[in-house]
Amino acid sequence: MPLYFAYGSNMDRAAMARRCPGAEPVEVARLHRHRFVIMREGYASVVRDPGHTVWGLLWSLTLADIPPLDRYEGVAGGLYVKAQQPVTVAGGGVRRALIYLGRSQGGAPRPGYLEGVVAAAREAGLPGPYLRGLEAMLR
């Protein structure tokens, strides 16, 4: 089963159940040396930044979940590209996971988008300081 690291709207369990019915949440994980950003299109992405860490939710996917996830992420249209990245899980273990990387930077979140990301991050149990950083982007 492939692993997928979600750091934006795909942390939302109900939304993932609709998009990828075979997906199962595994645990909270972190992507080191990256920073959470909003793209020109108003959606989340991550960029390399040695001083930061992005927290998210690690999912176990079925192979059938990948095509609908690619469609949702706009891979064919060039909105996101797919990559494999090492993420750190509880206890310090490292797992390789699929991650979607946005192709642009420097935008404002679409109305209601970031609120949904914050709510999903809270439900996933991401660390308080990281949550406060996401919430600060709402202001």
| Annotated binding residue 8 | yes
Residue ranges of the domains in the chain? 3-131
Q: Which of 33, 90, 97 is nearest to 69 (CA)?
A: 97
pLDDT digits (tens, 9 = 90+) for 51-77: 999 999 999 999 999 999 999 999 999
pLDDT in tens, 94-133: 999 999 999 998 999 999 999 999 999 999 999 999 999 9
β-bridge partners, 36? 46
Tokens linked to 109: 């979140």
113 labelled binding-site residue: yes
User: What's the CA gap between 128 and 107, in Å, rounded?
Assistant: 25
The rounded distance, in Å, linking the Cα atoms of 107 and 76 is: 21
CATH T-level topology, domain 3-131: Hypothetical upf0131 protein ytfp (3.10.490)
* Residue 5 annotated as lining a ligand binding site: yes
How do residues 29-57 score in pLDDT, each as one tens digit? 999 999 999 999 999 999 999 999 999 99
Active-site amino acid positions: 73
**What's the pTM?**
0.96
